[in-house]
Structure 1
Amino acid sequence: MLPYLLLAPALFVVGAFFLVPLAFSVIGAFEGPQGPTFVNLANAASLYRMDLVFTLLIVVASTALTGLGAVAIGGYLTLGRSRTALRLLGAMYRWPLFIPFIVAAQAMRGFIGQNGLMNNTLVWIGLMPQEWAQSFLDWRGIVITFVWKQLPFATLLVAGAMAALDRSGIEAAQNLGAGRLRILIGIVLPQVARNIMVALVLSFVTMMSVLSVPMMISGQSPTMLTVAMAWRINSFGDYGTANALGLVSCILTGLVAWIWLRQAAAERAR
């Protein structure tokens, strides 16, 4: 019984905070005043089709940029030669990891706005005239905030896997005259591909569930599904359509996780 007792707290948390709400959401998506119905799903599809496409584009773009940034930082931490740069980069890239999304969104509002710190700094040092200043508080701001906030988490996974590699192959390639970019692409990345995929899947799932960033950064339409769900509940009390949108989000994230699990299982079988 000892293994089951050790697993019991984790299973209770997963069941109470994930499986039970998921079950209520699935039931609520098909629940109507007169019994089971598909009206909620039809409303979600007709009213928020563009929001669904917008959400996918934002999250996919943010995930791809997060992966590229994690590979770049992890690659330099593994293959870089400047000790000063390595110490600075190793100390600085972790900072956003400890900042909540709502704080990151509020900070970005003061940084990338039309009169924000970024534009004022560029104007002050003479790199941009004042009339060129523009606001990034739209889809670009959402992507910037997502990447800035999620990059440290992905980098920790990727850089940790790179640091654990056997360096004999890297040193042999260096002795034969291979450049750092070629070593990174040809030797390092194939060995940490699974860790990169884990970082991308977890980043995708995390960004799909964030409400504060799209709500605080961009007030434009279309918007992300999390904002649409909050709007249906707070403005109309329409839990059915909100549950339908949540079900769509769960299906999308579950599909991404299933693709990764299937690929991992195939690699393990080989």
Structure 2
Amino acid sequence: MSTSSSQAHSLAVPSRRLPRISLGMLLVLPALTAIILLYALPLARSLVTAFRDSSGVWTTDHVVRAFSLYGRDMLFSVGVASASLALIATISIAISGYLVLGTTPWAVRLLRWLYRWPLFIPFVVTGQIARSFLATNGMMNNVLVETGLMASNSAQSFLDWRGLVLTFAWKQIPFVTLLLAGAMAAIDRSHIEAARNVGANRLRCLFEIILPLAAPSLWVGLILSLVAMLSALSVPMMLIAGNPTMMTSMMAHRITYYGDYGIANALGLFSYALTAVTAWIYLRLTLRREATA
């Protein structure tokens, strides 16, 4: 009798089981761990270091000194990044539009084959190529002189902000074009056909129908390009020897020669803020688009 009652009592009390981790969490865990270890923790540490001195006291001296010492470099970085993004957007829109609306099959195939090559070239190799191409006696000036388009005494070096803009644009145009052309190709062709039937030319179809629908992909590509340009170290160091220069070069110089992580992280804080503002603008535009859809 007592045995049966104890069995009944054990059946009445629910057994406690350990929480089971879902398969999705197990799949996400490696990537989440890598993000935390490689991005989140270094970001938190750099933010803390930017506002703490060597004795552990909270201070804003690092930020103030960073602006006083490298204010010109910050403005220079913003100017180079803005000019590069404008050039990237213009050429990417032109290439993507021709890939989608082009009427010459061989030209479309050739352009589709050519524009992707810079994707596979690292930034350090890109910097070396640009240094050899844009120097006073580089390949660009030599070709212009040999073809008679420029006098030999008129050759000048483009190893300045112009070289940075051209190099960053050449490196990032294929990436943005790949995203934008894919978004344009996914648009329903009936919209384009309807516009062409009522007399719209290709430029009007591109800027009034296709580009507004593919704008989110363009914004994503430009934001990622901004992050790549602000984090590139090899290209500014290879193309520009003096000041002003990109903030990444000044960060490396501050750490290498002075061991000053506080001011270097304060410069990085400005890069974070610039990227965050751009991402915020993109999110606002996306939410506004979804609200009006």
Please report the TM-score for the alignment, with normalisation by the length of structure 1: 0.97
Larger radius of gyration: 2
Q: How far did 1:86 drift?
A: 0.7
| Residue of structure 1 aligned with 2:128, choices 91, 97, 106 | 106
Instruction: Tell me what 1:7 maps to.
Output: 28
Listed as ranges, the gaps of 5+ residues in structure 2 are 1-21
- Matching residue's letter, 2:151: P
Which one is further off, 110-119 or 33-42?
Answer: 33-42
Q: How far did 1:173 drift?
A: 2.1
- Work out the CA distance in 2 between the residues paired with 1:260 and 1:183: 24
Instruction: Tell me what 2:44 maps to.
Output: 23
The within-5 A match list for 1:44-83 is: 44-83=66-105
- Work out the CA distance in 2 between the residues paired with 1:146 and 1:230: 19
The within-5 A match list for 1:45-194 is: 45-194=67-216
Instruction: Tell me what 1:223 maps to.
Output: 245
Instruction: Tell me what 1:202 maps to.
Output: 224
- State the SS of the aligned residue for 1:192: helix
Aligned residues between the structures: 270
- Work out the CA distance in 2 between the residues paired with 1:260 and 1:7: 26
1:163-216 CA distance string (max 9 Å, x none)? 111111212222333211111111111111111111111111111111111110
1:137-171 CA distance string (max 9 Å, x none)? 00000000000000000000000011111111212
1:66-119 CA distance string (max 9 Å, x none)? 111110000000111111111111000000001001100000111111111111
- Work out the CA distance in 2 between the residues paired with 1:257 and 1:3: 28
Q: How far did 1:263 drift?
A: 2.1
Q: How far did 1:254 drift?
A: 1.3
Which one is further off, 167-176 or 76-85?
Answer: 167-176
- State the SS of the aligned residue for 1:32: coil
- Matching residue's letter, 2:249: V
Q: How far did 1:265 drift?
A: 2.4
- Work out the CA distance in 1 between the residues paired with 2:67 and 2:211: 39
- State the SS of the aligned residue for 2:98: helix
1:16-36 CA distance string (max 9 Å, x none)? 111011011011101113311
Please report the TM-score for the alignment, with normalisation by the length of structure 2: 0.90
Listed as ranges, the gaps of 5+ residues in structure 1 are none
Instruction: Tell me what 2:255 maps to.
Output: 233
Contact kept? 1:138, 1:220, Cα under 8 Å? no
**RMSD (Å) for aligned C-alpha atoms:** 1.1
- Work out the CA distance in 2 between the residues paired with 1:269 and 1:4: 32
Identity score, percent = 52
